Structure 1
Amino acid sequence: MPAIDVQLLRKDFKVQQNRGGLKGALQDLFQRQYKEVAAVKDISFQIPKGEICGYIGENGAGKSTTIKMLTGILVPTSGEIRVNGFVPYKEREKFVSGIGVVFGQRSQLWWDIGVIESFQLLKKVYRVSDQDFKVRLDELVQRLQLEDILSRPVRKLSLGQRMRCELAASLLHNPSILFLDEPTIGLDIVVKTEIREFLISMNQRYGTTILLTTHDLQDIEALCSRVIMLDDGRIIYDGGLEELKAKWGKGKEVFLDFDNPITLARLHELTAGLETAWELIDERRAKVLIPQDRVNISEVLSRVVGVLSIRDIKIVEINTEDIVREIYKSGSSNSSSNTGDNADITSEKEEKETIGHA
C-alpha cells in the first residue's frame, strides 16, 4: 500500500463576481453572482512509503490546495484520497496521529508561551506517552539545536529558530508522513542547509515519507528523488530529477578563457559539424552551449583545446530552477494568475469553516 494514493482528485471553489460601478455594487448587495473555479483538476499520483517527493508549481497552480486536501483541512469536490490507508477528511482522529504538517507561513506553536510548553500541549493533543515523548524530544532538541530556546516565548524567536521548532513540533509523535508547505521560506542559506540535512537524516533513519512544496528549487535538488510539477491545477510532469533534466534540459554551458584574442568564426570552424551554440563574452572569453545527449562534451573540448591556448575552463550544468523557469516561459499552460489568487482566497475561507466544524 502506498503512503499517499490520489485518484482523479478535484477541488472547485465558488468565487464571487463583483460588478463594476455604483450600480453594480448596489446589485451585489442584494444578488451576488458567482462562478466556479477549479483549483485542482482531476489529478492522480501515488507516493510510496519512504520517498521524498517535491510538489512544485507557480503561484495559484494548486499546490497548497492539494496539501490541504491531503491533510484533511479541505474536502475534495470529487476523486479519492488515501493517506496511510485513511480518507483524511472522514477519519480525522485516527488519521492525524500518523502525519506531521509544517506550513511555512503559519505556526502550530502558541505565540505567547515558551516553546517547551507548546511541545507539552502537543504531546497531549497527540496522546504521546511520557517515555516516548522524552526520547523523541531529546533527539529533536539535539538534532535541531533547540537547547537554548526551549524556554523562550515563540514570539521572541527568529524566523530560523521558529522553523526549527515547527519541525520539531510536527515530529514529536513520530509520524510516518510529513507534509511540508514552504518550510524554508524567508530563511538564510545556513538555516536552509541545516533543515535540509535534518530532513534527509530523518528520512534515512525512520523511513519518513515527505511531500514537499516549495518555490526554492534548491530544496528540491537537495532533498527529492522525484518531482511532481503542477500547472493550472494539472500535473504536467511526474518523474525523477534526472529525467526532468533529460526531457527539458538544454544541456551544459562551457566557459573558456583564452590566452589570445579569438573570433566566433574561428570557434565555429573548429567545431564544424557539431551541434553547438557559441557566444563571445569578450575578445578572450567565450561560452558554448552543448545540447543534452546530442553532442559529446569531450569531443567539443578536444577540438578546441588541441588547437588554441586556453587559460581556464568552467563547465556549468543548467540547474533545475533554470529548467522549470523555461518550462513555464515556453507557454506550456494557459493558467491565469487571477484565477489562482481567487481560488486561494476562497480556499482560506473554506479552510477556516472546515477547522471550525472539525
Structure 2
Amino acid sequence: MPIIDVQNLRKVYPVAVKEAGMKGTLQHFFRRTYRNIEAVKQVSFSIEPGEVVGFLGPNGAGKTTTLKMLTGLIHPSSGHVSVADYRPFERRNDFLQKITLIMGQKQQLLWDLPALDSLRINAAVYNLSDTEFRQRVGELAEMLSIQDQLRQPVRKLSLGERMKAEMLAALLHRPKVLFLDEPTLGLDVNAQTAVRTFLQEYNQRYGATILLTSHYMADITALCDRVLVIHQGSLIYDGLLDGLLEQFAPYREISVEFDRTQSIDPATLQTYGNLQSLEGCQATFLIKSDELTQTVTRLLNTLKIQDLTITEPPIEDVISQVFATGRT
C-alpha cells in the first residue's frame, strides 16, 4: 500500500484584478473582480514506504504548493490526498506525529538559546520521555556530527551547523514521512554533502519515506532513483531518473584520440556519426544511444585509436531542457 497517494490533486487561487488609476481603485474597493490561478493541475502519483523520491520543477511550478497540501498546511481545491492513511488537511495529532516538513533557511530553533533547549520544547510537544529524548538526541547528533554544537546559542552556529540542528529538531519524533523543501539551500559543498549522507543513512536505518525538492541536482542524483517533474502545475514525468535521461537525452558524446600515424579524412569520419569537431588527432562525435555499441565497435575495428571516451550530457542540462520545453 502506498504511504503517499495523490489523485487528481488541484489547487486554485482566486486573485483580485485591479485596473490602474482612481477609477480602478474605487471599483476595486467597492466591487472586486477575481481571476483564478491554477497552481496545481490534476496531479496524481503514489509513493511506497521507504522510497526516496525527487520532486523537480522550476520556480513557480507548484512544488511547494503541492508539499503544503501533502502536509495539511493548505486545503486542496479538489482531488484526493492520503499520507500515512490520513487526510492531511484534517491536521490530526496522530498524523502530525508521522510527518515532518523541513524548508531550507526556515528556522524553528530559538535564536538566542542553545539548540538543546529548543529540542527539549519539541520533546515536550511530542510527549517524549526523558529517556527517549536523550537516546534520540544522542543518536541523531552522532549521525549529524553535531554533538558539541547543541549547547551553543543558535546564533553562533554556522549555516551548516544550524541546518543540521534544524534537521535534528524536525526528526526528533522519528516521523515516517519526510517532506524536504530545499534542505541544502545556501549551504557550502561540505555541508551539502554532510546533509545528503545523513539523509541516506536516516532512510536506511529507519525506513523513512522522503519526498525531496532541490535545485541542486547533486542532491537528487545522490539520493533519488525516482523523480517527479512538475511544470506549470502539471506533472509531466514520473519514473526513474535514468529513464528521464534516456528519454530526454538520447545522444552520447564520443571523444576519440587517433594514433598520430593515422590518416584522417573528415568525410570518412562523418560516416561514423555526427562529427562535432576535429582538431589535429582528436575528434568528437554525437551518437544516438541505440547506435552507440555498433558505432564504437566500428571505430575500434577500422581506425587506429589511442583513446576513446564516452560521456553523457550533464543532468543539469537535461533537466533545464525539460523545464524549457515543459514536456518529456
d(CA) in 2 for partners of 1:32 and 1:26?
9
d(CA) in 2 for partners of 1:179 and 1:72?
12
Cα gap change, 1:328/1:165 in structure 2, threshold over 3 Å: closer, same or farther? Answer: same
Asked if structure 2 preserves the Cα contact closer than 8 Å seen for 1:53 and 1:228, the reply is yes
Asked if structure 1 preserves the Cα contact closer than 8 Å seen for 2:252 and 2:292, the reply is no
Cα gap change, 1:22/1:332 in structure 2, threshold over 3 Å: closer, same or farther? Answer: farther
Q: Which moved more, 1:44-53 or 1:249-258?
A: 249-258
1:259, distance to aligned residue in structure 2 (A): 4.6
Cα gap change, 1:284/1:170 in structure 2, threshold over 3 Å: closer, same or farther? Answer: same
1:29, distance to aligned residue in structure 2 (A): 3.8
Alignment of 1:146-295 (within 5 A): 146-260=146-260, 262-269=264-271, 271=272, 276-280=273-277, 282-292=279-289, 294-295=290-291
SS in 2 for 1:118: helix
Alignment of 1:301-312 (within 5 A): 301-312=296-307
Asked if structure 1 preserves the Cα contact closer than 8 Å seen for 2:55 and 2:228, the reply is yes
Asked if structure 1 preserves the Cα contact closer than 8 Å seen for 2:183 and 2:214, the reply is yes
d(CA) in 2 for partners of 1:104 and 1:209?
19
SS in 2 for 1:247: helix
Asked if structure 1 preserves the Cα contact closer than 8 Å seen for 2:259 and 2:305, the reply is yes
Number of the residue aligned with 2:80: 80
Asked if structure 2 preserves the Cα contact closer than 8 Å seen for 1:264 and 1:279, the reply is no
d(CA) in 2 for partners of 1:313 and 1:324?
27
1:236, distance to aligned residue in structure 2 (A): 0.8
Asked if structure 2 preserves the Cα contact closer than 8 Å seen for 1:267 and 1:304, the reply is no
State how many pairs are aligned.
326
Q: Does 1:143 align with 2:139?
A: no
Alignment of 1:35-184 (within 5 A): 35-184=35-184
Asked if structure 1 preserves the Cα contact closer than 8 Å seen for 2:178 and 2:209, the reply is yes
SS in 1 for 2:90: coil
Q: Does 1:318 align with 2:313?
A: yes
* TM-score between both structures, scaled by the size of structure 1: 0.85
* TM-score between both structures, scaled by the size of structure 2: 0.92
1:140, distance to aligned residue in structure 2 (A): 0.9
1:59, distance to aligned residue in structure 2 (A): 0.9
d(CA) in 1 for partners of 2:278 and 2:170?
50
Structure 2's unaligned 5+ residue stretches are none
d(CA) in 1 for partners of 2:309 and 2:87?
51
SS in 2 for 1:66: helix
d(CA) in 2 for partners of 1:82 and 1:252?
41
Q: Does 1:296 align with 2:298?
A: no
d(CA) in 2 for partners of 1:251 and 1:143?
40
Number of the residue aligned with 1:339: none
SS in 2 for 1:81: strand
Give the aligned residue type for 1:110: L
Cα gap change, 1:79/1:302 in structure 2, threshold over 3 Å: closer, same or farther? Answer: closer
Structure 1's unaligned 5+ residue stretches are 334-358
d(CA) in 2 for partners of 1:9 and 1:81?
7
SS in 1 for 2:89: coil
